Structure 1
């Protein structure tokens, strides 16, 4: 009797397996979706960092967007130019000139430079401190509690003496630090060269008001504007026209930088070999670079 029961059980399991195999085979044919082989090819080309710097959830979604929606092939900040060229080969298109995107911290005030600071005993996060109105006099400047540092997976940004600073040797341009900054003073910008001249301030207040809250903030004095066509003053803040940023104009830009009474016109990015050899026994100056938003609103391309 037991052998009969075992036989029936085995026959039932075999029958179920055959039925399920048939159902699964039918479902595979009925619901099969053709995948463009270029999607897999694009995924193989992309670095697989899934950092979101391209604006998509991950490399897979970006690859689908390139193939299916015609998304630009130059949005991978991690892969850079070599990745763009490989994607161009996959898509059969021409690779146009592309600049790597990197973050810029539009504030140059260290702790000692910030006036009107009050003791803060809350959670040591910028997002929380930003809700406190009187934590420091400048409502535009870096808060220095390191939300950007915690957001970076590449150890490329650190808070030094109360001010966020980017390590461009490690930075891949994923944009996580810019997304984490509650005051929007970290912005993403295309590097047209290893270093770019920028305005290291975000304060739009009048010069006399800036002096009451910061020792180094831009005064909107127009000295830079008078020295170079690259500069203009908008809302009391010096701005650089990066469409007009050329080697020829940069010569006058350097003159403007020397005339800045607050020394807020600085170069940012990677130091060149010449820079390094010139200061082998000195501490290198701060270096930083451009998309431009401020504390209180969004702004397109300022310095």
Structure 2
């Protein structure tokens, strides 16, 4: 008994010594600001900042590898808190929010086929002939399932953003296999956008969609913020400001397909003005299909 007890005590002392030595030998100093930044972040771990999670972003901020304003969930108040911890000034920035570059609900789609495959956009995107427009929203809700904030839903076949709940994490944009959801800087509560991604010529668009852009260039003639890229108008958001509001208003009025729409959170005045109407939905889309990422053999 005495021998066993002495052996156990000896082993305990030895292991304590080894662990103490290892703690000193392999100790890594952690900047106290990292913990402070983590505490100031909302802890959503959504990845909207481009980092794996809040702790990864916090380390990047302290290391000087990331700005303090990249947390889309925390917003301006979070950026100000991080700036205070880091002793820096917050540069002017705007929150990023998603725009869905499609305005076609089920009744607007003129060439649809019954789909019996897996009810996911990523699967349907690989199947030819699901709908006539190969650029439009598929409506199976990959974006809706990816959103942890219940801020996007498929309504009548079209992905629709709830800007009251949206924090700009970008999960919906990453989930869309056609890349028709784009994150843009919201310099105002509501931003004008183009609700179409179809790059085909006008006559071909009319065959498959009632509301698709026909590339008439009316918007670019009335507002210098627009330029045409592959039959689609694109808005220069770097120059977007109040000075162009009159031009933008004319462009909206002249659009024959009503595809230029204000997107975002409406003010009380906006809501009152359209209380008895259904608001339509409105950037240049970075369209692609899953085939673009396919690795071909043979």
Please indicate the TM-score interval, normalised by the length of the shorter structure: over 0.9
* Aligned partner (choices 77, 80, 90) of residue 82 of structure 1: 77
TM-score, normalisation: structure 1 = 0.92
SS of equivalent residue, structure 1 residue 15: helix
The residue that corresponds to 2:96 in the other structure is 101
Contact 1:157 1:166 in 2 (8 A): yes
Alignment partner of 1:24 is 2:19:
yes
What is the number of residues matched between the two proteins?
291
Gap runs ≥5 in structure 1: 298-303
**Secondary structure of residue in 1 paired with 2:153:** strand
- Say which SS state the counterpart of residue 90 (structure 1) adopts: helix
1:207 to 197, 202, 211: 202
Give the aligned partner of residue 280 of structure 2.
286
| Structure 2 SS opposite 1:13 | helix
SS in 2 for 1:197: strand
Residues 165-193 of structure 1: per-residue CA shift (max 9 Å, x gap): 00011111111111110000011111101
Q: CA offset at residue 231 of structure 1?
A: 1.4
Contact 1:270 1:287 in 2 (8 A): no
Q: Within 5 Å, which residues of 2 pair with 1:31-110?
A: 31-110=26-105
Q: Secondary structure at the match of 1:242?
A: coil
Taking the TM superposition and a 5 Å limit, the aligned residue runs for 1:62-211 are 62-211=57-206
Please give the TM-score of this superposition, normalised by the length of structure 2: 0.94
- CA distance 1:287–1:82, change in 2 (3 Å): farther
How far did residue 253 of structure 1 move?
0.6
In the alignment, structure 2 segments of 5+ residues that lack a partner are 293-298
Instruction: Tell me the alpha carbon deviations over residues 179-210 of structure 1, each in whole angstroms, 9 at most, x when there is no partner.
Output: 11000001111110100001111111111111
CA-atom RMSD in angstroms: 1.5
1:244 aligns with 2:239: yes
